[in-house]
Structure 1
Amino acid sequence: MARNTYLLGASALVIAMTTAPMLAQAQTTDDASAVEEVVVTGSRIARRDYVSNSPIVTMGQDAIEKTGSVTVDTLLNQMPQFVPAVSSTSNNPSNGGQANIDLRGLGTQRTMVLIDGHRVVPSNSDGTVDVNIIPSALIQNIEVISGGASATYGSDALSGVVNFKLNKNFTGLQMDAQYGITEQGDGKESSLSLTAGGKYAEDKGHAVFSVSYSQRGEVYNAARDFAKISGASSTTPYGRYDATGTNLPSQAAVDAVFAKYGYAAGTVSAAANLGFNNDGTLFYNGVNYTGSDAIDYSTIPVNGTYNTGALNLLQLPLTRYSAYAATEYEINEHAEVYGSFNFTHYDSRTILAPAPAASSTGFTVPVTNPFIPDDLSTILASRADPTADFLLRKRFTDVGARISETTFNVFQLAGGVRGATGFKDWTYDLYASFGRSEQNETQSGNVSHSAVQTLLDAADGGASICTGGYDPFGNNALTDSCRSYISRTTKNWTAAEQRMVELNFQGGLFNLPAGEVRGAWGADYKFDSFQYVPDSLLSTGDVVGFNAADAIDASTDVYELYGEILVPVLKDLPFVKSLNLDAGYRMSDYQTIGTVGAYKVDGDWEVVDGFRVRGGYQRAVRAPSIGELYSPQNQDYPSISGDPCAYNSSYRTGANAATVRSLCLAQGVPSAIIDSYTYANSQVNALTGGNPDLKEETADTYNVGFVWSPRFENPLFERLSLSVDYYSIDIKDAIGTIDAATVLDKCYNGDANSAYYCSLFTRNTSTGEIDTLTLTNLNLARYKTTGVDFQADWAFGLGAVGLDDKYGSLKFNVVGNYLDSFKVQSLAGEEFQELKGTIGNTSISSVAVSHPEWKFAASASWVLGPVDLGVRWRHIGEMVDAADASEKIDAVDYFDLNGAWQINDTYSIRGGITNLTDKQPPYFTSNVQANTDPSTYDVLGRRFYVAVKAKF
């Protein structure tokens, strides 16, 4: 059947970043049967008018191509409705190279990802889907529905749904090749795809097959000026003696040692932590520092800090191979069988600075160690207990950087049978799928804590164990045998499986004066399992380098029933061209939490031709994931902006300084160092993990808006469209952890629940430092966000402005978001924390997210025959650092150029320049990494791409 459509449909919010609207709405014709029924994302009911009651953003293959990226998450993360999460620029934190998407900033686990309306096998224990596995060469369009959709699709759809619709009707042979590079000559991206499709068996069947290869080059922090000095750490490759507050040396001894270096008495406190120069002398905060520029005090003037950032990655490398095949075959009008197979293999890598033995992983050194420098011996001998071991921190540069290399293999096999039931126009669809995601990770750069401790404890310094022994006092080279003795390589394995069966029916029920009542109902079963087998060394906790981890082997399943009904209420009345209501309910019986229900009521009101009002309410439900329930407690290192107990912190110098000082003493900061205690690290040790007592999350979602496509006869305005939608999402009993910065802040700021927050961590009674924060999963209080999405599309031929259409046409598009509020409540009864206009908060995600008040993208293009030239403007509003509201981050604007030329029916070329002005990212103190947020801001700079497509 033919589709009678026209551009600039008034039915849905279109997208983003392209120069022409890509969503069509079916026109009313005298022959209704000439219009094919379609299913809108967010509903199970097929309709002849392509109408969405919820805001839907749609983008096509053209939009993906104009980003110049080889991965689809780049486009999604530039859209105003998304908050960038783990992506190609996420080195630490990272998911090993995965690309996860986060709608509304409410967490990737609350964004449902579908392919052609069906679930995709997850790659993580929290159910998050890796969009690297989407067969991008076959993407026809991407539909994004904002707001809860649990009644339609089930758990996980609290913030919305992203539905990748594939072109399964592709016919012919197509080759596409693309190459891109940054202005600095790195970060190369290339892709090559081959797609073929056609009919068979006397046109009863159709098959499509696509294979693709893509590669993305790595970029180091050191390659960009803004990032090459970042990640200050107090654990250095020279080693550091840490003063123990309960066994300090005498001030006289410290003064005597530093007097030899030419410094006056009292320059260095007896409570100071001292670093080692290679000649055996000592330094403190640059005082008497004679080492190399591995510690750069001119740029990081912090006590004992080391520049860890240079070795980290700004862009993760990726080598990906994928294959997709789909077929459908019509047996008769009552049965069409169909199936698909999707496979992706890719490799990626993350790189971190050399392993640090810090905090609770430091080493104790006996005073009998033969490598102890003379000056340190003098100081140690002055302690109250001169024979006691002392604490040593060390970064193992000789072992090399910590490198995690991950290989992903993901496949999904799906199929079913569908057709007409023979009852009225009712159709059925029986669908089943099986998917498996497998990861193999190899970690190098680890160090065995026990092996190092053995060398330190040895009377000969370990010389009888490995050649030369181990001298940790200074940046002294290890021999090959000692390096081999302490080094460890670990290997981890992860597997996630999903099995699903669903049966759906839909069709007309009966007629009312305003039209036909239509309905849909169905049932499904879903089984998920997750296994993680860490290297046995990680499980023992002996490894210094990558985080300690324990195994997980768990599964869960759910049985569901749903129903949906569409009721035409009024039609062809004054100011009511049509009024329809849609209601749905889903009952889910989970193995873990029992029976829960989700429901929706929404509607659309076509006031007059070209003006439609839409909106509704949805109660969405999300069951806790396998990881949230059953993950064992594992080691993590969340970021903090400082320790409130540090003598120079704002807590110790503010109005409550005396109270904070007393609390720090009570927690274990030794009195001998309370007024000189500092903490220079940007991270803290924490335990994170599951909680089997979690219950479900619930979300109340409201939306109301309008779509206006005025019916002007003037050619200047006949292709004008405007949409505005207000949304409100309120999530209760939200599953998550209280982020480390919030725990510390609320422990010391006199909060009503300060005792609870203080109970979540302990301190080392010798050094005063935080030993471990306990941040296990909890049903916290609430997340609330409200805002407005808006879009305008306008296109006209130049004849409309007094020229001639032979000179082409202009197209304009603006799509954006105004964030009215984004609030987080950590515990019931507490005040909400307003995050609107902030960046750097980790309350919802381990990746600190941004919440600008304004975010939009605008584009303009000139089309002349086969040539399309465009410019795009991306705007991210000003924000403040969530950890320090006095630190302002200015608004950022990016400009991109793109162009395409359809040479003939077979060949076309395209190209562009991304970040035309080479805009550099802003700095802020509580940065995610590289002194900024590399997911929110462009960290690569100006770059170029060119591509060629041939279709036969």
Structure 2
Amino acid sequence: MNKRLLRLRAGAAHLAIGLAVVSFPAHAQDVAAQNEPEAIVVTGSRIAQPEIDSVSPIQVVGQEAIENSGVTNIQELLLENPVFGTPALSRTNSAFLTSGTGAATVDLRDLGSDRTLVLIDGRRVVAGLPGSSTVDLNVIPTQFVERVDILTGGASSLYGSDAVAGVVNFIYKKNFEGLIAEGQYGITERGDDAQYRGSVTFGGNFADDRGNIMVHMGYTKQEGLLSRQRANTFYDDADKWAYFTGDPADFGTSVTPYFSSFAPQGSFLAGGRTFTFDANNALKEGFSTNGPNGDGVGADGFNRQYYRTIAVPVERYLFAARGNYQVTDAINFFAEGTYANTSSSRQIEPSAIGSDDIFKSSGGLVPIETRVNGAIMLNPYVPAAIAAAATDEDGDGLRDISFSKRLSDLGPRDGSTSRDYYRFVAGLEGDVFDKFHWDVSYVYGRTSETQQSNGQPNILNFANALSAVQDLGDVNNNGLTTDVICASAEARAQGCVPINIFGFNSISPEAAKYIAAEQSYSTRITQQVVSANLSGTLFDLPAGGLGVAIGAEYRKESSRENWDALTNAGLNAGNALPDTRGSFDVKEIYGEINVPILADTPFFHDLSLRAAGRISDYSTVGTVYTYNVGAEWSPIRDIKFRGGYARSVRAPNVGELFTGASQTFPSGLVDPCAGIGLTGGGAIGDNCRAAAGVLANIQQNGVFTVNQADRQGISGYDSGNPNLKEEKSDSYTVGVAINPRSINALRNLTLTVDYYNISIKDAIVAPPRQFILDQCYGQGEQSFCDLVDRRPSQTAINSSGSLEYVDAPLFNGGKLKVEGLDVAVAYNTALSAFGADGRLSGRIAYTRVFDGYVVSVPGADKDPFAGEVGNSKDRFTANLGYGVDDFSINFTGTYIGKAYEDDQLLAAYDLDPHAIKIGSEFYLDTQARFKPTEKVEIYFGVDNLLDNKAPRLLSGTSFNTTGTDTAADVYDVFGRRLYTGVQFKF
């Protein structure tokens, strides 16, 4: 019944030696050995056959490993496996993002989350992030999962686009009968980030066992952790070299505490003189607000860490149901439905604003005087000393100042996010001639997100509120002529409230309300998939059955995201963010074949060849082809050699294709035309002089001249590109799997060693703007010159021909490569052979990364990431478990090898790539379980038993996660954590 459903028989001969990480239940092999093999399908092949496994390496995380982990979100367990890289999104790295807060993603081989395909029972899952294919693992009910198959290596020919780095396939429980209820509570040793989990799963058969239905309801809550709750993150620790020039030996030394010079009392520049307020709110000239130098009187700068977040809170509600019904002896109906609601919130420090954020066109000059009926009136809020120092700096006859201020009166910047996920599956399956299995299914998925954020200012209202005068004529008709009003009658009609920016707590609640800009964001992602598959044995050959699988699939995906109008226009002190919407569809056919060549002959216990191919027709990139070939050779039953090659693709997603222009203000760009004269300069000189504005500048100044304002005034737009093509990858794997079943004491030992090599070309990247300029003027590449706009010759002489916009749309120009070795060992045995009671099991999975690098654009140097923080070359996870009668205990160790700072950052300061080293870390977790009765099990666990402290990474370095003083997405930021739970089974 329902043979198409993915299964794993622990005793299946070939399958067992293909596993790297699996928890074997006691006596599972003995029981399985007594049964006849049945047709199964495992991740990595679509052929339903007895005893078939994938040529590509597969690791399996079993139900026992899931239960022993005590995790609230399955992402936490998967990240212990060394084949996974640093997650793009997690609770500990999403507080500062404009979207995606609290999402949980995975990333095989550190090649990007969009290059890891996530499946449920072999079928696609709708994305959790708009514009992408990245799945949010918050939608996976951990207690509903039977096991997780992790296929590493390209698999697009079997599963379609996005399986460039591999596949993570969540296999749900099936045909479940009974009831399981569970509750768990956990908290850190320091009494924070409390976590709660509760679930009920029940199921049973009906209609004389022709049908089965199973239902799961779950709830989890993680309370979160603020930076101020921990002593080591109460203050920001900054890297001195990131803010100062000097001796490179100072790199990595810290400024502690590092306070922001954007202070709540404000800092003001008038007539070349600086003013601020001391702790008593008294105006002082030249008084330090305690910026990067860490000195100043009484530490009057602002402690941003007080408001920052180490881990965002996440709350989830999950409901899942699945069932099947045997309509006839040959046809089975199956259905599945899942709903998940994930809510999260974030908090960071109050907004820091400078007058150049409000008055960009005037270079940040704020007039403190206003013309009213021909008279010039001073803003009454301006202190006398500042007014006396101010001068007319732009020639309009009004005195100006500039300022910076922390908007503490608006409160912290915070936001709440709610995501709703729906997924429905329905289909039919059956057998034909007892040789083939078929299935037809329809999948519908939808993710919706709403987000509300506060703490940002409305720039237009702020500008109106800064233009304030005394109401001498009582224009507001309140009977007073001493109060302060907005100068603009139009602004007053729209509710303008004048604002006082001078000093602590200077902004009135009414003014704060007037300038506050609530930010809203909403998304909707939909996915529809119709697929049909047929697999089985075509006919028998001398060495076994010729296995085949064919199928077809149609998929349509759409995504949209909408920001509020102020965010669209960049009028809330941030860059403009565009709305994005788009869709695509794809029609696909695939085929797979497994050809047994030799069997049960000397030196060829088994020899078989495998191949698969897929043709995909996208509405966006056209027709693409993917394929793989592989071979397996077992000289004897206990040893299998395997190897394979795969060509995979990743089609561009909605965001990469259709994202609108988002303005940015790059820094550090060097204009190739600087210093070019009327003659000379080679190709660069000729290309520069071809621009009218540049030529006019040269004619006026002798050589092309730019000033500081020109350099700071460069803008540009990042955007998608509807002309993108697919990424292509080539992956090679060679390995051996050993299961010495002929030796009784070692029959439950498995050892796998696999070499992998994955390279990606035509990777979708945004070209660095300096590269764009160099290619345009140095190489004359017109496609890059089209991305550059210069100011016309009619502008002010020194700005004539200066760079105004350098745009950077996505294009197919990058390369990625990763190469390494996976070694995995698993063993379990009854201790009775050694004269003891109980059963002992152990497993270890180790990964050594030989090489890993990115080439950002054609012709650029390799940027290695292997060995840097988050990409340690050596990683392993190991598990040791012991069980006897009604008691069991389990230990899990996770090792992260030494790592280094980003070589590109170090090279910028002429430092050796290994100048800053972060030592290795070993985390130890343990859990004990006890069954006081047959139906009740109690468990206790400790994570980070050794209470390891996360390595210190200073602000300003490459891998620091803001607010945590470490790489919080790599290292444990919580310390020792304890949890306990109870499980009832009926």
**Post-superposition shift, 1:99?**
1.0
Structure 2 CA distance, aligned partners of 1:298 and 1:708? Answer: 60
Within 2, Cα distance between the matches of 1:310 and 1:881?
A: 27
Map of 1:140 onto structure 2: 146
Which residue matches 2:589? 561
- Structure 2: where are the runs of 5+ without partners? 239-258, 360-364, 370-378, 472-482, 487-494, 671-700, 907-912
Contact 1:743 1:758 in 2 (8 A): no
- One of 156, 159, 178 as aligned partner of 2:162: 156
CA distance in 2, matches of 1:792, 1:300: 58
Partner of 1:315: 311
Following TM superposition, by how much is the alpha carbon of 1:610 offset from its aligned partner in structure 2, in angstroms? 1.4
Measure the CA separation in 2 of the matches of 1:757 and 1:787. Answer: 40
- Give 1:903 deviation, angstroms: 2.9
Superposition pairs for residues 780-929 of structure 1, below 5 Å?
A: 780-798=813-831, 804-806=835-837, 808-839=838-869, 850-882=870-902, 883-884=905-906, 885=913, 886-924=915-953, 925-926=957-958, 927-929=960-962
Counterparts of 1:609-758 in structure 2 under 5 Å?
A: 609-634=637-662, 668-669=707-708, 687-711=717-741, 713=743, 715=745, 717-738=746-767
State the match for 1:843 in structure 2: none
In structure 2, relative to structure 1, the CA distance for the partners of 1:777 and 1:240 (3 Å cut) is: farther
Say whether residues 1:410 and 2:412 are aligned partners. Answer: no
SS at match of 1:39: coil
Q: Deviations for 1:171-220, whole angstroms, at most 9, x for unmatched residues?
A: 10110111110111111111110111111001110110111111110100
Q: In the TM superposition, what whole-angstrom CA distance separates every residue of 1:376-411 from its partner, at most 9, and x where no partner exists? A: 445533969684644333321111111121111111
Deviation at 1:863, TM superposition (A): 2.1
User: What CA distance in whole angstroms lies between the structure 2 residues aligned with 1:644 and 1:405?
Assistant: 37
Instruction: Determine which of 465, 469, 472 is the counterpart of 2:501.
Output: 472
Q: Would you say 1:207 and 2:188 are equivalent positions?
A: no
Letter in 2 for 1:74: E
Q: Distance in 1 between matches of 2:863 and 2:498?
A: 54
Deviation at 1:474, TM superposition (A): 3.0
Partners in 1 of 2:655 and 2:355 — Cα distance? 27
The residue aligned with 2:452 is: 442
Amino acid at match of 1:411: Y
Task: Identify the match of residue 329 of structure 2 among 314, 330, 333.
Answer: 333
Task: Name the amino acid aligned to 1:37.
Answer: A
Bigger RCO of structures 1 and 2 (CA < 8 A, at least 6 apart) = 1
Answer yes or no: is the 8 Å Cα contact 2:358–2:463 preserved in 1. no
Do 2:19 and 2:750's aligned partners in 1 also have CA atoms closer than 8 Å? no
Which residues of 2 match residues 171-186 of structure 1 at below 5 A? Answer: 171-186=177-192
For residues 532-583 of structure 1, give each alpha carbon's deviation from its aligned partner in whole angstroms, at most 9, with x where no partner exists. 12222322322236x6422222111001111111100111222211011111
The one-letter amino acid paired with 1:819 is V
User: 2:306 is aligned with what amino acid?
Assistant: A
Cα displacement (A) at 1:81: 0.7
Give the aligned partner of residue 107 of structure 2: 102
- The equivalent residue for 2:970 is 936
Distance change in 2, residues 1:936/1:195 (3 Å): same
CA distance in 2, matches of 1:317, 1:8: 45
Determine the structure 2 residue equivalent to 1:845.
none
8 Å CA contact retained: 2:267, 2:275:
yes
In structure 1, give the amino acid aligned to 2:846: G
Distance of aligned partners of 1:836 and 1:898 in 2 relative to their CA distance in 1, 3 Å threshold: same
**Structure 1: how far apart are the matches of 2:399 and 2:851?**
56
Tell me the residue number matched to 1:92.
96
CA distance in structure 1 between the partners assigned to 2:357 and 2:803 by the alignment = 12
Q: How many Å separate the matches in 1 of 2:72 and 2:882?
A: 25
2:591/2:612 contact within 8 Å kept: yes
Instruction: Look up the match of 2:202.
Output: 196
Cα contact 1:22–1:59 (8 A) shared by 2: no
Match of 2:754, SS? Answer: strand
Report what 1:659 is aligned to: none
Aligned CA distance change for structure 1 residues 227 and 142 (closer, same or farther; 3 Å): same
Q: What is the CA–CA distance in structure 2 between the aligned matches of 1:298 and 1:23, rounded to whole Å? A: 65
Greater CA deviation, 147-156 or 568-577? 568-577
Number of residue pairs the alignment of both structures matches: 866
Q: What SS does the corresponding residue of 1:897 show, helix, strand or coil? A: strand
Q: Percent identity?
A: 30
For the pair 1:428 / 2:458, whether they are aligned, the reply is no
Deviation (angstroms), 1:604:
1.6
Instruction: Work out whether residues 541 and 548 of structure 1, in 8 Å CA contact, stay in contact via their aligned partners in 2.
Output: yes
Cα distance change on mapping 1:590 and 1:746 into 2, 3 Å: closer
Cα separation, 2, equivalents of 1:887 and 1:555:
45
Do 1:894 and 1:919's aligned partners in 2 also have CA atoms closer than 8 Å? yes
Larger Cα-atom Rg: 2
Whole-angstrom CA distance in 2 between matches of 1:941 and 1:410: 32
- Deviation digits for residues 569-609 of structure 1, max 9, x if unmatched? 11122221101111111000000011111101012212212
Decide whether the 8 Å contact of 2:12 with 2:32 is kept in 1.
Answer: no
Amino acid in the other structure paired with 1:607: P
Distance 2:618 2:568 in 1: 31
The answer as to whether partners of 1:362 and 1:393 remain within 8 angstroms in 2 is no
Whole-angstrom distance in 2 between the partners of 1:820 and 1:152: 27
Letter of the aligned partner of 1:935 in structure 2?
Answer: D
Q: Is the Cα contact below 8 Å between 1:744 and 1:757 reproduced in 2?
A: no
Instruction: Pick from 70, 84, 108 the counterpart of residue 68 of structure 1.
Output: 70
TM-score when scaled to structure 2?
0.81
CA distance in 1, matches of 2:944, 2:215: 35
Distance 1:75 1:951 in 2: 23
Residue type of the partner of 1:336?
N
Partners of 2:145 and 2:965 in 1: how far apart? 35
Q: Report deviation, 1:325.
A: 0.7
Quick check: 2:120–2:171 contact (8 Å CA) kept in 1? Answer: yes
Query: Given residue 764 of structure 2, which amino acid in structure 1 is its aligned partner?
Result: I
1:443 shift after superposition? 1.2
The structure-2 alpha-carbon separation of the partners of 1:532 and 1:367, relative to structure 1 and needing over 3 Å to count, comes to same
Is contact 2:638-2:742 (8 Å) kept?
no
Assess, with a 3 A threshold, how the Cα gap between structure 1 residues 862 and 758 changes in structure 2: closer, same or farther.
farther
Matches within 5 A, 1:538-617: 538-544=567-573, 548-617=576-645
Distance 2:162 2:408 in 1: 43
Which digits, 9 at most, give the CA deviation of each residue in 1:655-691, with x for residues without a partner? Answer: xxxxxxx9x99664259xx9xx9x9xxxx99854311
Shift of 1:862: 2.6
Superposed CA offset, 1:895-943 (max 9, x none): 2222112333211112211111221111232213222211111111111
- Structure 1 residues 382, 414: CA separation in 2 closer, same or farther (over 3 Å shift)? closer
Task: Give the equivalent residue in structure 1 for 2:224.
Answer: 218
- The 3 A distance-change label for structure 1 pair 757 and 276 is farther
Change (3 A) 1:26 1:51: farther
For the 8 Å contact 1:510–1:516, the answer to whether it is kept is yes
TM-superposed deviation, 1:67? 2.9
Secondary structure of the corresponding residue to residue 459 of structure 1: strand
Equivalent residues of 1:568, 1:580 under 8 A apart: yes
Q: 1:357 aligns with which of 321, 346, 353?
A: 353
What does residue 523 of structure 2 align with?
494
Is the Cα–Cα contact under 8 Å of residues 115 and 163 in structure 2 kept in the other structure? yes
